[in-house]
Amino acid sequence: MAIKGRSEDLSSGRVRLGMVGGGQGAFIGSVHRLAARMDDHYSLVAGALSSQKKRAVASALELGIAKDRAYGSYEEMAAKEAARPDGIEAVSIVTPNHMHFPIAKAFLKAGIHVICDKPLTTTTKDARELVALTKKSKRIFAVTHNYAGYPMVRQARAMVAAGDLGKLRVVQVEYPQDWLTERLEASGHKQAAWRTDPKQSGAGGSVGDIGTHAHQLASFVSGLTLDSICADLTSFVKGRKLDDNVNILMRYKGGAKGMLWASQVAPGNENALRLRVYGDKGGLEWSQESPNELWHAPYGEARRLLTRAGNGADEAAGRVTRVPPGHPEGYLEGFANIYTEVAAAIRAARAGKKPDAAVYFPTVEEGLNGVAFVEAAVRSSAKGAVWVKL
Amino acid sequence: MAIKGRSEDLSSGRVRLGMVGGGQGAFIGSVHRLAARMDDHYSLVAGALSSQKKRAVASALELGIAKDRAYGSYEEMAAKEAARPDGIEAVSIVTPNHMHFPIAKAFLKAGIHVICDKPLTTTTKDARELVALTKKSKRIFAVTHNYAGYPMVRQARAMVAAGDLGKLRVVQVEYPQDWLTERLEASGHKQAAWRTDPKQSGAGGSVGDIGTHAHQLASFVSGLTLDSICADLTSFVKGRKLDDNVNILMRYKGGAKGMLWASQVAPGNENALRLRVYGDKGGLEWSQESPNELWHAPYGEARRLLTRAGNGADEAAGRVTRVPPGHPEGYLEGFANIYTEVAAAIRAARAGKKPDAAVYFPTVEEGLNGVAFVEAAVRSSAKGAVWVKL
Amino acid sequence: MAIKGRSEDLSSGRVRLGMVGGGQGAFIGSVHRLAARMDDHYSLVAGALSSQKKRAVASALELGIAKDRAYGSYEEMAAKEAARPDGIEAVSIVTPNHMHFPIAKAFLKAGIHVICDKPLTTTTKDARELVALTKKSKRIFAVTHNYAGYPMVRQARAMVAAGDLGKLRVVQVEYPQDWLTERLEASGHKQAAWRTDPKQSGAGGSVGDIGTHAHQLASFVSGLTLDSICADLTSFVKGRKLDDNVNILMRYKGGAKGMLWASQVAPGNENALRLRVYGDKGGLEWSQESPNELWHAPYGEARRLLTRAGNGADEAAGRVTRVPPGHPEGYLEGFANIYTEVAAAIRAARAGKKPDAAVYFPTVEEGLNGVAFVEAAVRSSAKGAVWVKL
Amino acid sequence: MAIKGRSEDLSSGRVRLGMVGGGQGAFIGSVHRLAARMDDHYSLVAGALSSQKKRAVASALELGIAKDRAYGSYEEMAAKEAARPDGIEAVSIVTPNHMHFPIAKAFLKAGIHVICDKPLTTTTKDARELVALTKKSKRIFAVTHNYAGYPMVRQARAMVAAGDLGKLRVVQVEYPQDWLTERLEASGHKQAAWRTDPKQSGAGGSVGDIGTHAHQLASFVSGLTLDSICADLTSFVKGRKLDDNVNILMRYKGGAKGMLWASQVAPGNENALRLRVYGDKGGLEWSQESPNELWHAPYGEARRLLTRAGNGADEAAGRVTRVPPGHPEGYLEGFANIYTEVAAAIRAARAGKKPDAAVYFPTVEEGLNGVAFVEAAVRSSAKGAVWVKL
């Protein structure tokens, strides 16, 4: 009932963490903080929480950050923290997409580990630069494709890898929401505004915001690599600058086929990420809104409902599990698993060791794959929804 | 609790019915007979139940058909029945696909109404000829796209037509099964054999067998017309001659977009036809395996679970409903609704009248649309999954 | 895909059936007729469909019954049909409860098999007399505890009998509805009126109408016999004469314990009969509103979803199954299974044989058990909800 | 998206917390710590984590507690912490049941707020003493009936209180588990051992462990007070000293009726706490394993699925909600809500104020009600399952 990296043993000290973005009123920043706090592996000690100095400082003080570590800019924070003997070991980047790249670059160059929200960057060029820089700097770089943190997603991946489904044939992934059914961005809604603004979001709308999650989840669980896609992106809401509905056909290397649907204009859907994978020996189905369950259909046998920590749960799920079966874990716990795994890796790095083989978090390379996926989708759609290689 | 056409009032006499195909051991033939019998509107009085004379006669006698009306060929049956004063008024055609055309043609020419299994024919050329012949002969021609017979499907269509969803944007339809996951056709399985044989099935495998159902359901409920599709058909099972997995992007006239997935190699799926439709005012979701339920999500309000005959069920559902809410109706009841509606139309025709405006059954034109859909999908896929017009 | 008794082979002729009750506007009568017709084993040839002669005759003619067999009273019908060489072999009794006894008695005495709606009678005294008369007359007597006709209920019973659950410990059965939440009987609603009238229903309201179904289902599946119960019956709706909510603790012979809840005042429940049975090796769960599914939880293993005709379905379910997995069967199919099994028994009786060992329908003895259950519940509750023996 | 008491504003400083029990290997202790940490309102600064001194200290150090505040006994901790200027403001008691009373008493007497696991004590005598002492000491006393912390449970209570269901008639609550299906306590399983030992658990087994949760949930949501119960407790597993299955009929003051089932021998059930409440205007249904959903059935209208933070969620749910709809919150979040509400109350107390009217946590009086319920159930069952007053 305890993940290895999740021991409450604090004898080696918490990881010193800073944050860029996430000031008062921001949503994802508070999620990152809670995720970092859940298993008690981090101390939030520094922040450049807003690009407005005053708001940045006020936000930091509220969070118990010392005044001298409440920075007005990420550049200042990277420089000063790198110079302190008790400077931060890692930074969380929770700004709009277009700022991920310069900020991550600054901290990597300052020798600080990076935990960055998705999508990694707004261009593959930038993403490739971060991959190279990560390699060169030997720092840890995690991208919070948080759905890979769910225990039953881990188990799904392990089952596919173990051959439980046989050779994969079909991947169906979808991620419908409804919160952009109307033109929310015109009403002063901050989240909607930057997500539908190409300057802050990049060239992808829904495809970047949620399509990347769907793509990462499908890739993570299936272990497959995309060969080419045919994407039909649509902007249904009048006046909207970016896509709000995403229909994609996928062809994987090795012959498997797939479909991906992402939408932010599908009334009745809250956050309905769902993955189905089929091979010649069986199928799996997982839904983010019922994350403690995983359906397994061995071909020719009755379907089984595998549950987190319950009968049928395996080691892959067990190590990222906190409470017994029937005591639901949710979004925050899954998100926290990413942070906790990163903490295990940072502690290993402190000791000059490799992390335990079971430690997993989405890497900068996976971040690059996500950006490449968005670029390919936009390119395909712009040409009339034709097949493009990844 | 009673559909208008479903009154048990037999004072005007049952419709005299014949059947072609559906001899001993056939599946769909017995479904058609049960559907015809359910509301007691038909008498099965003639049959050419097999192309083998001996088996045809034995099958007919078992079913209580008189010996002189147990025919060895459909040609003989059409001729002799047309000549009898008490000859059949309608014929059910339940053979493999490639025989639908010549048989339907023969009976239409003999002045007999036709109820034909789907897909209507194996080519659009043949389908168009049947459309023309139907018009000319003034006979009734129903195609058993039976899923349109479910009460909550009727209600979904009515709700869309009434504008409850606003302007439609997104259609998601899928029809996964798993029974062809392995090469069943090589093991002497009769159903699998003809369905995977281009000579009997036509050019479409899964796309013809179940993709046509999915297409018809989406068209029926949405009221939309396809403009073009991009289809990626795959034959995953080694040695199989026709597609067993169907991935299609759809563009409707008027701007709505859609996706259609049909598969017979998705382990854990029995007969999981499912439709979701979204407009700017709301969404609907219906699953064939829970047919008495219809989810309605008015945008900005809590989702409602509408149930057959229950709170929220409307007139469209009510008229094809037999038992109270919570008493599940199923596949056979939905199928029977097609037969019962056809009986109402035939009785109106007997009286030289138009049927009640609420009477609905899938027509020969809808059958043609299904065949056109299959042809377009096969054509698109053959060219590498490019966009083709319908 | 075919039950033995369900063969469409009519060579031995249909069973000649009469009906008492079920005239125009009645609900359960049309259900019985449809159930009899579904597998084509019966011909409805006589009826005393209403106690009002005129309505009785009009109803019969509508149903295609010959004028001379459209009777004004059941006594006349029993006498005349018994005297005809082509008289009915069986009668369906679908009147309000208080008439079951005299009618059943009359037909048994006339040597005619009986299919009677539930509860069997309004007193155990009457029920015992029917048991004795059935034995003496050597006629078949079936009580339409129709939920025992569902395939997955058959399988549940078979699994318990085979020891799949080990020694049974706990039985939980419930049957909530909501249609009597308000005082419907005061508004001229015919169904509500007789069901809440002690003169027509007997001493039990909900406990007789639906509690008996719950009791029969639990007994049928578990194979257990009640030792004693403690029943707290309530009439929540002001002015109602009989109970509309039933809370019962149960003790079975052998040590198992149970609870039974039946209610007709539970808003949101349509017909939510549900059974759960637990032993020391596993558990089973079945819900009438999703009748094609049966959950099986072997202790210590992942739960399995067994489906009618699907993977994990056994012979007990298979023999009362018509269509493939994923093609839902419902209430009418389950009801029809009772009729079809009775037809098999009648045909065996015609031939002087015992029916096939697998043939099952609820017997007059099970009907007596139901009436005894109602009496005990009423007695217990009247004394303040104390334990009473059965 | 933020609860008032959940603001991340730490300017007034975290609440200084101590813990008794919950050393290495304990389950519920780590849940309490995580719950306290989730919204960052507490600092764990002292502990008597085990009755074995060595283990107590080792556990404390691992958790980052200073050596001089790692106590070997709760008596020492209460005395020394009360004497420190920076002593703990509140203590969490997470020992087996029989120790709750002396520990709570000691800390209340030392002027320290108490957060105690349930059931409050093993006798009502002790519980009453704690109620009196709480009143006298003017300390806050919370009992972690954590299921009352779930947002949709809060909403259910608010809806009932607002009259949305009309006058309540029927309460159905159940709490089945399966982890004690076999004699786990004989195999060295620590959790099972103390829970089935009357010396540590008190006179109730399942009725104390989970029956109290079910009772509290039903009381909390319905707002009803029990008048009398009739309880049939069983110990199915051979050699077990306490009940493992609980069947109870309930009568509430005012005329509502209810049933409560709790079981730890029901294979296939993990932690399936579920509540249904029905009044003359509607019904509600909530299941702990799908805690983000609440079914609402207004009588005569279609059922609605209300979701946490989604359409239909009200203020009562909203204030204890962290993340948007479709991002599931779970057991730990619900548990944390209790802690966060207590922190709000403690901060108000610091300032000499009353907490905000919306602040809710289960009180020592509710703890007493739970113990009284257990005693009544045991008394009723011992007399053969007769009605007893509460």
- The band of B2, judged by pLDDT with boundaries at 50, 70 and 90, is very low
pLDDT of A8 > 70? The answer is no
Say yes or no to pLDDT of B4 above 50. Answer: no
pLDDT, position C291: 98
Which three-class secondary structure state does DSSP give residue B178? coil
Burial of C111 (0-12, 13-18, 19+ CB in 10 A): middle
A299: which chain B residues are within 8 Å (Cβ-Cβ)?
178, 181-182, 267
Interface touch C332/B323, C-beta < 8 Å: yes
| pLDDT tens for each residue of B302-352 | 999 999 999 999 999 999 999 999 999 999 999 999 999 999 999 999 999
Residues of D in contact with C174 (CB under 8 A): 172
- Chains with ≥3 Cβ pairs under 8 A against A? B, C, D
Q: What is the pLDDT of residue D72?
A: 94
Q: What percent of chain B has pLDDT over 70?
A: 97
The mean pLDDT value for C157-184 works out to 98
* DSSP E strands, C95-252: 113-116, 141-143, 168-176, 226-234, 245-252
Measured between CA atoms, how close is D33 to chain B, in angstroms?
35
Give the model's confidence band at B385: pLDDT under 50 very low, under 70 low, under 90 confident, else very high: very high
HSE-up of residue B259 (Cα within 13 Å, Cβ side): 25
Q: Report chain C residues whose CB lies below 8 A from the CB of A300.
A: 311
Chain D residues touching residue B300 (CB < 8 angstroms): 311
Chain D positions touching C263 (Cβ under 8 A) are 170, 278
Q: Which residues in chain C are closer than 8 Å to D295, comparing Cβ atoms? A: 268
Answer whether 0.95 is exceeded by the pTM: yes
Average pLDDT over every residue of C334-348: 96
C219-262, pLDDT tens digit by residue? Answer: 999 999 999 999 999 999 999 999 999 999 999 999 999 999 99
* Residue A330 at interface with chain D, using a CB cutoff of 8 Å: yes
**C6 vs B13, residue with greater confidence:** B13
A11 touches chain C (CB under 8 A): no
- pLDDT reading at C5 higher than 60: no
So what's the pLDDT on residue A387?
98
Is the CB of C306 less than 8 angstroms away from the CB of A302? yes
* pLDDT level of residue A6 (50, 70, 90 thresholds): low
Q: Would you tell me which residues 265-304 of chain A have a C-beta closer than 8 angstroms to some C-beta of chain C?
A: 296, 300-304
Q: Are A118 and A141 in contact (CB under 8 A)?
A: no
CA dist B151 → A218, B285, B290, B339 (Å): 36, 14, 12, 14
Considering only A6-10, D101-105, D371-375, which range has the smallest mean pLDDT? A6-10
Residues of A in contact with C301 (CB under 8 A): 311-312
Instruction: Check A280 against B234: CB less than 8 A apart.
Output: no
CB proximity D251 to C under 8 Å? yes
Cα B189 to Cα A252, B185, B194, D229, D386, distances in angstroms = 32, 6, 9, 61, 62
Q: What is the pLDDT of residue C6?
A: 52
- At C2, the amino acid letter reads A
Taking the C-alpha atoms of residue B115 and residue B133, their distance in angstroms, rounded to an integer, is: 14
Report which of C196, C293, A146, B190 is spatially closest to residue D327, judged by C-alpha positions: A146
Centre a 10 Å sphere on the Cβ of residue B49 and count the other Cβ atoms it contains: 30
Please compute the mean of the pLDDT values over residues D270-297 and round it to a whole number.
98
- Residue B7 confidence (pLDDT): 63
pLDDT at B11 over 90: no
pLDDT at D149 over 50: yes
Please give the mean pLDDT across all residues of chain D: 95
Please give the C-alpha separations between residue C317 and each of A133, C153, C156, in angstroms, as whole numbers.
Answer: 63, 8, 9
**Per-position DSSP letters for D181-241, written without gaps between them:** SS-GGGGT-HHHHHHT-HHHH-S-SHIIIIIHHHHHHHHHHH---EEEEEEEEE--STT-S
> Do residue B265 and residue A258 have CB atoms under 8 angstroms apart?
no
Inspect the interface and report whether the beta carbons of D307 and B307 lie closer than 8 Å: no
| Rounded CA Rg of chain A | 20
Q: How confident is the model at residue A13 (pLDDT cuts 50, 70, 90)?
A: confident
The C-alpha atoms of residue C118 and residue C362 are separated, in whole angstroms, by 10
Query: pLDDT tens across B156-214, in order?
Result: 999 999 999 999 999 999 999 999 999 999 998 988 999 999 999 999 999 999 999 99
Pairwise CA distance, residues C126 & D244, whole Å: 41
The pair phi, psi for residue D130, each rounded to 5°, is: -65, -40
Helices and strands in chain B, H and E counts:
13, 14
Tens digit of each residue's pLDDT (9 = 90 or more) over A237-252: 999 999 999 999 999 9
C7 band by pLDDT with thresholds 50, 70 and 90 = low
Look at residue A263 in the predicted model and tell me its pLDDT.
98
- Asked if C118 is an interface residue toward chain B (Cβ–Cβ < 8 A), one would say no
Is residue A69 a contact partner of residue A78, using CB atoms and an 8 Å limit? no
Looking at residue A208, the DSSP 8-state letter turns out to be I
Mutant choice from D281, D305, D308 vs B, greatest count of B C-beta within 10 A: D305
Given an 8 Å threshold on Cβ–Cβ distance, is D332 in contact with A331?
A: no
Q: Which of D148, D121, D91 is nearest to D338 (CA)?
A: D148
Chain B hits for A283, Cβ within 8 Å: 178, 266-269
What chain B holds in terms of domains, given with CATH numbers, is 4-147+349-359 (3.40.50.720), 151-321+368-389 (3.30.360.10)
pLDDT band at B12 (very low <50, low <70, confident <90, very high): confident
Instruction: Kindly report, residue by residue over A110-162, the tens digit of the pLDDT.
Output: 999 999 999 999 999 999 999 999 999 999 999 999 999 999 999 999 999 99
CA distance A296 to chain C (A): 10
The mean per-residue pLDDT over the stretch B107-134 comes to: 97
Distance from the Cα of B222 to chain D's closest Cα (Å) equals: 23
Whether D65 has a pLDDT exceeding 90, the answer reads yes
Please state, rounded to an integer, the average pLDDT across all residues of chain B.
95
* ipTM of the complex in this document: 0.95
- B155 — contact with chain D (CB < 8 Å)? no
